[in-house]
Homo-oligomer: A and B are copies of this chain.
Amino acid sequence: MDVVNIFLTSELGESLEDFVHDHRRFTFDRLGPEGPRRLVEGPMWAFIDWVLPDLAGLELCRRLRADPRTADAHVTMVLEEDDPEDRRRALRAGADDYVVGPLTRTAVLDRVLALQSRASERNATRRFELGALVIDMAALQARWDGEPIVLRPNEFRLLRFFAENPNRVLTRDDLINGLGKREPPIDERTVDVWIGRLRRSIKAAGGGNPLRTVRSLGYVFDLG
């Protein structure tokens, strides 16, 4: 089952965190004027308030549509009142949908669950492009200069996590947590093996080595 990623412009997300039982299926994040703060795998559901402190909701909606990483999110505009003209404008700005607020926790979840089954029909791809490296999250496939890289699941997760945090030293502990492997406890040295395997796989596809070792600290994904 896919993870469902829900983005909200209000603080409702925190409240939903507690409300939801199954955290393997849902993630919540606050949607700021710069878009989502982290990239995710799986369908994205954005709920945008009509009025925001620093930006018009419509403008945020347009930005999401313009950014290839979020272009295929399902965007719901949250109207303050049921003004037909506003509805129209929301849909024109690229929203898929609108509701009349204020938003409640159950409204968000019900809506997502009801529409979710339809979402599998969409095959827009979410992708990272980091120099020669392209990561296609929908196909779970990475390429170097167009050449497919054969990656095992753990290698793919690792590469994805690096791609989400480029130019930043990640400790072995960061990586273990980033891949969600708290249980059972993983030996830190195992990370070295992960890195080695990932490097080898990239090399086998004719790629370079974007992973730099930072002695006694961790590893960095070098970009640019």
Residue of chain B at shortest CB distance from A92: B110
Please determine whether B118 and A168 come into contact, CB atoms closer than 8 angstroms: no
The segment from A4-12, A18-26, A134-142 found at the interface with B is: A134-142
Contact B122 A118 (CB under 8 A): yes
**Interface residue? A211 (CB, 8 A):** no
Residues on B with beta carbons closer than 8 Å to the beta carbon of A122: 118, 121
Whether B110 contacts A220 by the Cβ 8 Å rule is: no
Selected interface stretch from A30-38, A44-52, A93-101, A196-204 = A93-101
A2 to B173, CA, bound (A): 10
A interface residues, tally (CB under 8 Å): 53
Which chain B positions have C-beta within 8 A of A27?
none
Which B residues lie within 8 Å of A216 (CB)? Answer: 153
Task: Tell me whether A217 is interfacial, beta carbon within 8 Å.
Answer: yes
Q: Is the CB of A1 within 8 A of B173?
A: yes
Contact across chains for A100 and B97 when beta carbons are under 8 A apart: no
Q: Is the CB of B91 within 8 A of A111?
A: yes
In the complex, A22→B144 CA distance in Å? Answer: 44
Known: A84-B106, A153-B216. A168 touches B125 (CB 8 A): yes
Chain A residues with a Cβ under 8 A of chain B: 1-2, 74, 82, 84, 87-88, 91-92, 95-97, 100, 104, 106-107, 110-111, 113-115, 118-123, 125, 136, 138-141, 148, 152-153, 164-169, 171, 173-174, 177-178, 214-217, 220, 222
